Amino acid sequence: MATLAGLPGLIGSAALCGGAGPAAAQPLSERIASYRIEVRLDHPVRTLAGRQVLTWRNAGETAAAELRFHLYWNAWRNDRSTWMLEDRIRGRSDRGEEIAAGDWSWIEVDEARLLPSETGSGGAAGADRPGADLAPGMRFDAPDDGNPEDRTVLVVPLPRPIEPGETARVEMAWRAKVPRTFARTGFRGDFYFLAHWFPKLGVWEDGAWNCHQYHSATEYYSDYGVYDVSMTVPEGWVVGATGREVERREAAPGETLHRYVQEDIHAFTWTTSPDYLDLRDRFDAEGLPPVDLRLLLQPEHLDQADRHFHATKAALAHYGRWFGPYPYGHLTIVDPAYGAGAGGMEYPTLFTSGTRISNPFGAGSPESVTIHEAGHQFWYGIVGNNEFEHAWIDEGLNTYSTGRVFDLVYGDRIFSKRYFAPPGIDADDGFYRHLFRDVRDSWSVPAERLNRYRRSATADVEATPTWRYFPASASDITYSKTALWLMTLERWLGWDALQRILSTFFERWRFKHPGPEDFLAVAREVGGPEVDPFFDQVFFADATFDYAIESVASFPAAGEGWFGDGAERAYRPLAGEAGDTVYRTEVVVRREGEGVFPVEVLLVFEDGETVRRAWEGRERWTLLVEERPAKLEYAVVDPERVLILDLDYTNNSRRLDSKATFPAVKWAARWLVWLQDLLLAFGTFA
């Protein structure tokens, strides 16, 4: 068992008593939970040995009689944890039946004790019992589902409650087995990516600990603070981490200590490998603060280095101008090792991208994932919502923002397909990627997200806490639905209004913990009260939208049948087209879904004239009538696609005279182009 006094390869415990390291002159956050951590990676046995001091201030209004810590890596301790149970429902277990004994992980806290409070810390919690041993009372809890096999929440009772305004310092010694990558954390050969790797305090709010079990479809929530972390790794290995490196020295023969410090963040992540290429660049844009960029790249991807930097700069520039500037001055981009399963994830001042050897420019990768994860520095990093309960605030806002940046910077992507997948690997995961340059495939939010939303449109009400979502549909609601209703707001209210909503929300809640009502209050403030019925349907309910043109008709306006009275009454046959000068057009528009939204109907006539009619869309159907000197050619409801949430856009239009062969000709031509390019691709290997 490791002890507080004797973890091999670590700095002596006295060094931990000096606080959380250097602090910025002007704090950006309240700095409620700060950590000083020392950790050693034992590569041959793939374990971590750590010691940490947590400095926590009770910023609430009630006393806390216990502390609650996340032990995330216990989610992969065995197949009975809540994370594993839910992941099987999602159908996303990383290795299914192929999980080997060395793939599982665990984390154990060996010792925990109170430390005397520091001078000027603002309180004296623990000072009456310095060195009080907290370990005997520790226990596990499963507050969400009562699963006795789940050990992802550790409860640590205190000798006396920590009163509001008081500060407590808790020292812990712990050990952990590094997993073979689950949830984008773990190892692959001599590549390590280590996220959520230490005992992490929950958030004390509203008189209780917000400390959920680890769920497969949710991420994280913690307070901002200062992190001072020393990592000991094999000599010669490259280390990348949250923050800036402030010290590097020999820890023991064959081992090097890397110390990183960062203020005003709510998590700390690191990576190490002997194979990284360590590349540097700098973001400089007018009106925004400069950012030093560091790219830890796999050697086989060297030709894609500039693409990673370019996409990162695009995100920093557009997010910075739209919402608010990136404040940290540095950012690390990590390219995970092949097969590591660690790509596409965000952490403070560091994120993982992901690419392949065969990845020609134009297909959208790695540009799209790089923009998205860099964008999370804003929606998640700076605006720190509770991802267990309201993951849509960061994931949805960021998915929408990603699409907007990608469209502006890169435009449509070229349709591509992968070939030559090894046996047992999905056909879409082949190593060779071929571009069909004559076929463009939009990366826009509707094109990318509508199908995903369709399959889960009524699976959950979005206002439901995220951890309660059905695991298989959580992503569709969190990412796709939110991005779609944000784009609907953009097209309904205008970009200027939506940009004000997002920038106001960003400025008001940076380095804080906003909830749904905080976002809705800003949307109402900027967008007006008319947004309330919209959110009642898309957020507080699972209403689906589908407007359709049910029927169209154009016929002579003179009419057919009996007209006139008495002696003037006469039968009028339907006049021939040659003698008619006016046609009556009747269009029936129907609301097929439960959702209600104001829509426009476009009528296009054979003489080129157009008419636009507004409909509030409340009734189940409406009849639109026009009398004009030409027949109708076609009618479209929502012609500008304002309502991006419309589930079936194929029924939004109807022609008076159908052109049955038109779709066949169109798609036949497209398939011929695809077939031609495919044959050319195979021809290169013949």
Alpha-carbon distance of 563 to 91, in angstroms, equals 68
pLDDT tens-digit series, residues 494-529: 999 999 999 999 999 999 999 999 999 999 999 999
What's the token pair of residue 605? 């006539």
Percent of the chain with pLDDT over 90: 76
Q: Give 480-505 as a DSSP string.
A: IIHHHHHHHHHHHH-HHHHHHHHHHH
CA nearest neighbour of 586 among 638, 619, 622: 622
User: So what's the pLDDT on residue 674?
Assistant: 65
3-state secondary structure (DSSP) of residue 680: helix
Residue 119 has pLDDT above 60, yes or no: no
pLDDT band at 374 (very low <50, low <70, confident <90, very high): very high
With residue 550 as reference, give the H or E element that holds it: strand 547-556
Instruction: Inform me whether the pLDDT recorded for 126 exceeds 70.
Output: no
Percent of the chain clearing pLDDT 70 (strictly above): 88
What pLDDT score was predicted for residue 122? 43
427: pLDDT strictly greater than 80: no
**pLDDT tens per residue, range 56-81:** 999 999 999 999 999 999 999 999 99
- E strands along 149-275, which residues? 153-162, 167-177, 186-188, 191-194, 200-201, 203-205, 208-210, 225-234, 238-241, 244-252, 255-265, 270-273
Q: Which of 199, 123, 129, 131 is nearest to 164 (CA)?
A: 123
Query: Left, alpha or beta for 395 (phi > 0: left; psi -120 to 50: alpha)?
Result: alpha
Question: Is the CA virtual torsion 303, 191, 49, 213 positive or negative?
Answer: positive
List helix spans (H) across 108-188. Answer: none
In which residue are the tokens 């409620």 written? 32
Q: Are 248 and 258 in contact (CB under 8 A)?
A: yes
Mean pLDDT, the chain, integer: 90
Which are the contacts of 47, defined by CB distance < 8 A and separation ≥ 6?
41, 175, 176, 177, 178
- Tell me which amino acid residue 360 is: P
Between 251 and 14, the more confident residue is 251
Question: What are the tens digits of pLDDT across the range 329-350?
Answer: 999 999 999 989 999 999 999 9
Token pair listed for 311: 């996409």
Mean pLDDT confidence for 479-492: 97
- First-to-final CA distance of the chain: 61
Res 576 pLDDT > 90 = no
